Amino acid sequence: MTATSEPVDIQVGDDQIAGTFLTPQSKIPGVLFVHGWGGSQESDLARARGIAGLGCICLTFDLRGHARTVAQKEQVTREHNLKDLCAAYDLLAEHPSIDPGAIAVVGSSYGGYLASILTGLRTVRWLALQVPALYRDEGWSLPKGKLNREQLQAYRRERVTADGNRALSACSQFSGDVLIVESEHDHLIPHETIMSYRNAFVSSHSLTHRIIDGADHALTGKNDQDAYTSILVSWVTEMVVGARVGDSPQR
């Protein structure tokens, strides 16, 4: 974000010299976290606290079918959870201290899939996807837990193009900055899925792709968790915080 400037005259004895006050804008960036299927906001809270310390307002939340609404898990569809995400985004964007044009969304696995679709529905400037999942458009209204897992895994091993998938189509239109984090030994999200996402971002301002060596899908090792945290915080610092002080390239 650029600072506001105000010219001033500085009195020096009988003379005046020119000066300029530069004042940071009062609005600050927002960061929205979206957890994966079977997870909860608990997995995002520690990273959100760290990023909030950089000068951002962060929001974590539980998708329906998780945490206190886990009883709904067998009935929840992707449409339900997309509505959850839109509602959470709108709440963040309405925060009086938020710059609505400076919102980042961080999605993990299923949350990354939903976050990708969100970019076509709401204004997102920065998008971070950690092991983003991918689903066929068919069966959108079916309960998420009833999707055929064997067919799903076969689909993820294909190279899927943007014109045949809702999430990838949204990615192809996204003009902001993107971070994709891959786990080397991911049994749920193969490398082909990551490349389908990567190839879809044809309009992005920048694209950063990182692989956590030896990591599994859930980042069960502490070193893997720390590695992801380091990657995410470094990227947010460069993109989000950098933009706030005017260091990031202008689009």
Express each pLDDT in 185-244 by its tens digit. 999 999 999 999 999 999 999 999 999 999 999 999 999 999 999 999 999 999 987 776
Name the residue range of residue 138's domain.
Answer: 26-244
Pairing of strands 15-23, 4-12: antiparallel
With respect to residue 42, please indicate whether it lies within any of the assigned structural domains.
Answer: yes
Q: What is the mean pLDDT of the chain?
A: 92
Residue among 7, 35, 37, 40 nearest 22 (CA)? 7
With respect to residue 6, please indicate whether it lies within any of the assigned structural domains.
Answer: no
Averaged pLDDT, 167-193: 98
Record the tokens describing residue 242, joined without a space: 């950098």
With respect to residue 116, please indicate whether it lies within any of the assigned structural domains.
Answer: yes
With respect to residue 12, please indicate whether it lies within any of the assigned structural domains.
Answer: no
In this predicted structure, the answer to whether residue 247 has a pLDDT above a threshold of 60 is no
In this predicted structure, the answer to whether residue 246 has a pLDDT above a threshold of 60 is no
> CB neighbours of 4 closer than 8 A, spacing ≥ 6?
22, 23, 25
With respect to residue 18, please indicate whether it lies within any of the assigned structural domains.
Answer: no
Determine the number of helices (DSSP H) and then strands (DSSP E) in the chain.
8, 8
Express each pLDDT in 85-119 by its tens digit. 999 999 999 998 899 999 999 999 999 999 999 99
Instruction: Give the pLDDT band (50/70/90) at residue 249.
Output: very low
CATH number of the domain encompassing residue 67: 3.40.50.1820
What does the DSSP 8-state code read for residue 223? H
Residue among 73, 51, 47, 52 nearest 62 (CA)? 73
What's residue 244's pLDDT?
Answer: 63
With respect to residue 8, please indicate whether it lies within any of the assigned structural domains.
Answer: no
With respect to residue 9, please indicate whether it lies within any of the assigned structural domains.
Answer: no
What does the DSSP 8-state code read for residue 26? S
Angle at alpha carbon of residue 205, lines to 189 and 88, rounded to 5°:
60
If one counts the domains in the chain, the total is 1
What's at 125, amino acid-wise?
R
Least confident of 3-12, 17-26, 29-38, 158-167: 17-26
What does the DSSP 8-state code read for residue 43? H
Record the tokens describing residue 56, joined without a space: 């951002």
For residue 90, count CB atoms less than 10 angstroms from its CB and return exposed for 0-12, middle for 13-18, buried for 19 or more. exposed
With respect to residue 212, please indicate whether it lies within any of the assigned structural domains.
Answer: yes
> CB neighbours of 170 closer than 8 A, spacing ≥ 6?
116, 117, 118, 119, 120
Euclidean distance between CA atoms 237 and 251, whole angstroms? 18
The CA R_g of the chain, rounded to the nearest whole Å, is 20
